[in-house]
Amino acid sequence: MRNRGREAAERTAERRRRESEAPRLLGVAPDLKLLELVIEERRDGRTLPETTHKKRVVLEHAPALFVMPCMDRSCRDGGHDVTAEILHALSKKQTTFTGEDPCNGQTGSANCQRVMHYTATAEFAS
């Protein structure tokens, strides 16, 4: 258990480091006025309702980094980095866009079967 705690702490520290080193979102997308993401995870093509949540990005503080953890508690080294595709959509001023990313973590001895889906809503200054 101590080991697991340390791993989690290291992952948190790593995430904070990446967030502080990333450029600011408004530096990359200065016209952005609002960004909301509806995130859900699916397994075998079915949505897992407990994973569905809405995330409103606080633009003043947001790094240009979109990394979501895998919501399966038994998943190790999982998660989703959709930074490149979200920044690409924002650079084209898309007001709605969706994407998905399969988890490449491990649950026990098997590959994690979850796929993260997101629907983004964005508003830009005209």
Catalog residues that contact Zn ion under the rule CB under 5 A.
70, 72, 75, 78, 103, 105, 112, 114
- Please state the closest distance from residue 115 (CB atom) to Zn ion, in A: 9
Place of tokens 């998905």: 100
Nearer to Zn ion (CB atom), residue 72 or residue 89: 72
Minimal distance, residue 118 CB to Zn ion, in Å: 15
Q: What are phi and psi of 32, to 5 degrees?
A: -70, 130
Q: For residue 120, give both structure tokens.
A: 């983004």
Question: Toward Zn ion, which CB reaches closer, 35 or 41?
Answer: 41
- Residue among 105, 102, 85, 107 at smallest CA distance from 37: 85
Cα 29 to chain center, whole Å?
A: 17
User: What DSSP assignment string belongs to 13-40?
Assistant: HHHHHHHHHSPBHHHH-TTEEEEEEEEE
Between 29 and 39, name the residue whose CB sits nearer to Zn ion: 39
Min CB(29)–Zn ion separation in Å = 28
Q: In this complex, which beta carbon is closest to Zn ion, that of residue 62 or of residue 68?
A: 68
Smallest distance, Zn ion to C-beta of residue 84, A: 20
Half-sphere exposure of 6 (CA within 13 A, CB side): 3
